[in-house]
Chain A
Amino acid sequence: MNTAPTSTNPPLVCWNCHERTLGTHFCSGCGKLQQIPQSFDYFALFEMPKKLWIEMDGLEKKFLQLSWKLHPDNFVNATEMERELSLKRSSELNDAYRTLRDPVGRVEYLLGIEGERKEGEKKQQAPPELLEEVFELNESLDELREARESGGDLTALRESLEAARNSFQEKLTEVDSQLQSAAREWDIALAGDAATRKKIMARLNELLNRRSYIRNLVTNVQKELV
């Protein structure tokens, strides 16, 4: 399932020498920097399979190698076309590295390119199993704000909010570990059938939405507590 770029992509024609080129980044004929092929995704750029477990040292090494080649510093005295290409290519490289380095960003990206990232119609709606706790939390938040305005005692309210925050923080950790195990399932299913992969992606998508919801909640409580 490795997307070996040169074999799976249609032959490309160099913008400079107009010859067919096999090079991924530079024309195999004239050596000029090339556009990134349309079919390239971040995984292909790093010559990696679409696995969610990524070995960080290897990713960094590849990133640094490509940076040497693509960075605009190399093209200061080159033609306008090459300068623009380098700017585009190196920004893509940096975007790719930033995305793949982040375990959550990586999952979001994968679902995005697979067309399975669905943020849900009602992003702000609480997952059903959390409804009760979220309701209580919002009440406590309101009370805290009121107490603050009327100059009342905040100690008890703060304590209960801190407890709630900690509880949601734990849930966040839980979601993260669920994401991790779903990611492992994905890596195993990569060689398997499409239906299984689709099912795992739906699960990953649901976890991402849940994670984003809880994270927002924690951030909001944190803001009130500061």
Chain B
Amino acid sequence: MGRIVGIDLGTTNSLVAFADSQTGQPKCIPGPYGDTLCPSVVSLDPDGSIIVGEPARRRLLTQPERTIYSVKRLMGRGPSDIQSELKLFPFRIDPSSKNVIRVVLGDRIFTPPEISAFILRELKNWAEAFFGEAVDRAVITVPAYFNDAQRQATKDGGKIAGLEVLRLVNEPTAAALAYGLHEKQRGRVAVYDLGGGTFDISVLKLISTSDGDIYQVLSTNGDTHLGGDDIDNLLQAFVHDLILQQDEIDFSPHGELAQELRKTLISLKHQLSKAETATLRFPLPNGSVYTREFTRGEFEALIRPIVDRTIVPLKQALADAQLRPADVEEVVLVGGTTRTPLVRRTVQEFFDRKPHTELNPDEVVALGAAVQANILDRGVNNMLLLDVTPLSLGIETYGGAVAKIIPRNSTIPASAQELYTTGVDNQTGIDIHVLQGERELAKDCRSLARFTLKVPPAPAGLQRIEVRFLIDANGILQVAAKNLRSGEGHSIEVQPSYGINDSEIERMLEESIEYAEQDFAERQLIEARTESESILTATAKALVNPQVAGLSAGENTKIAASVAALQEAAAGSDYKLIRKRIDELNQATEHLAELLMNSAVSTALEGRKLAEV
């Protein structure tokens, strides 16, 4: 078995972390650029290879039509769900998309789990390079308020990336785990997690028992479409209008100019978190530079409606936990957007308590995931996490109403049994529609699955089938049925309303191995560099040998040029070029190798390479 890691698959950035086997302390793993943050951006290169992270983020500006960001917003959603987002995001959705969105990148079509899998695979590579060992299992975090389909899509992404997903952990809960380890906190804790695309609020009770520490989630709430992205979109629309008024330049939200503006505004937003004023300078296609000074006050007035949207879920979570703000003993801030002073102030005022910000808000979720991964790997010994389901589970009843069978904030795993019987003679099927949500009508809730219980023909009411709905520790629904008359298990085929089926996942896994070409390229690069190092060392050594006198001036020049060319290639990342330069140097030093061989052995060995001598 390979190593296990914790992964924060974020809207804007993703991270991978592990727990030290000795101390249990979690640590984030840096990527090839030394940074622990991997931008959640994926780009399809014209040569067909997949580029992930920082290099992909740069392509947002040069190849926006081949590059995608914030794919987390599309996970587990159908085309009709995201119409409003499409206006603001440069996502190109394949028109043939039915239940699952299909995104167009260049000339290829991918589902959101596949795109997430590219990010997960990249992080897997980071970790493998770090450990020098295979990584095959992971704990992946999801927003606490993710529904069943969004969770399933995340799990599918892990599978496609070649990872066994041991558990999906809710992001605020993971953060609480990391903080608990860090601060040894006790009592009631509220975790306010405002990230790039999602908002979660979780209320936990930290209990010390004789068995160990228990992290019990009392309630959770949130909005899976509220985050820093919304602030960026708002700023972008605002500034776009200003530019339009002044310079009458309109640009489509999908183009390179829009991406450039977005990038500039994100940096403006970051500046305004630190300074009271910041100046926007944006070069326009007509040669002029749009310049405007922003004050923090102006910025805050603009984004206040977004920050205020977190208050309703906050109040609901407290009400569900039967607590008042003053009952909460500790408040923890998580997610990059909580760096915004207005967010911090809003939370502090709400709880009348200074929130914790000691741990890096970008890293804390990944650290918590690593803690949970360690627990799962080594067995529960001194820490146990009890999480809840964020949304009520219901089934459709007569007249399109919903009967709730598992209330929201139930500790998971949770289950409910329902008894079904036939209403008319010789009825052969009973249709069941499972939903998630708090509304009373089926049409206002999230459809999870529909299935038909097949029953042998019999007089009405004779056949009785017990259906067991179970929400597992990942927050994912499982359904099992039993015919009470025959006592036999009842096979059911549940068709998820928004999701991909197992055979599709298999196919995607196979395809992703095709894309693993990129991993191959990385390995090739490492090997080529190692080889170039050894041949350069051997050449340097050979050149101080007295046998060098046997070389012609032309040969000497050629060797020097080849050495320089290889050094230059090895500094780059093109393994094919490095290989070519290695071959060239080998050729250039062929005679030198012969001379050295001759001095050592009496037999000349043609075609020997210098490094082998």
Contacts and interface: CB of A to CB of B under 8 A. Distances in A.
A81 B172 CA distance: 31
Contacts of B384: 67-68, 71, 73
Contacts, number: 69
B386 to A, nearest CB: 6
Contact of A72 (B209, B410, B415, B472): B472
Interface stretch (B324-332, B373-381, B557-565): B373-381
Interface residues of B, number: 28
Nearest to B1: A77
Given A64-B209, A68-B384, A76 B413 contact: no
A97 B411 contact: yes
A91 B411 CA distance: 8
A95 B380 contact: no
B558 to A, nearest CB: 60
A90 interface: yes
Contacts of B410: 94, 98
Given A64-B214, A71-B384, A76-B166, A94 B207 contact: no
Contacts of B207: 64
A88 B417 CA distance: 12
B180 to A, nearest CB: 16
Contacts of A88: 415, 470
Interface in A182-202: none
A95 B417 CA distance: 11
Please classify how large the interface on chain A is, using the bins under 10, 10 to 19, 20 to 34, 35 or more.
Answer: 20 to 34
A94 B379 contact: no
A38 interface: no
A90 B386 CA distance: 11
B411 A94 contact: yes
B349 interface: no
A95 B411 CA distance: 8
Contacts of B414: 91, 94-95, 98
B376 A73 contact: yes
Contacts of A87: 413, 470, 472-473
Contacts of B376: 73, 76
Given A94-B411, A94-B413, A74 B379 contact: yes
Contacts of B407: 98
Given A64-B207, A67-B384, A91-B470, A72 B375 contact: no
Nearest to A73: B380
Contacts of B375: 73
Which of B375, B384, B411 has the largest number of chain A CB atoms within 10 A? B411
A65 interface: yes
A64 B214 CA distance: 8
B441 interface: no
A73 B386 CA distance: 10
B418 to A, nearest CB: 13
A176 interface: no
A206 interface: no
A116 interface: no
Which of A68, A74, A91 has the largest number of chain B CB atoms within 10 A? A91
Contacts of A67: 214, 384, 386
A176 B218 CA distance: 25
Given A64-B209, A87-B472, A74 B380 contact: yes
B415 A92 contact: yes
A163 B211 CA distance: 52
Interface in B139-167: 166-167
Contacts of B413: 72, 87, 90-91, 94
Interface of A: 61, 64-65, 67-68, 71-74, 76-77, 87-88, 90-92, 94-95, 97-98
Given A68-B214, A98-B414, 19 more contacts: A64-B207, A64-B211, A64-B214, A67-B384, A71-B384, A71-B386, A72-B472, A73-B375, A73-B384, A73-B385, A73-B473, A74-B380, A76-B166, A76-B379, A87-B472, A87-B473, A92-B415, A98-B407, A98-B411
14 contacts: A61-B209, A65-B211, A68-B214, A72-B413, A73-B384, A74-B379, A76-B379, A77-B379, A87-B470, A90-B473, A91-B412, A91-B414, A95-B414, A95-B415
6 closest pairs, A vs B, by CB?
A91-B413, A91-B415, A94-B411, A76-B376, A68-B211, A72-B473
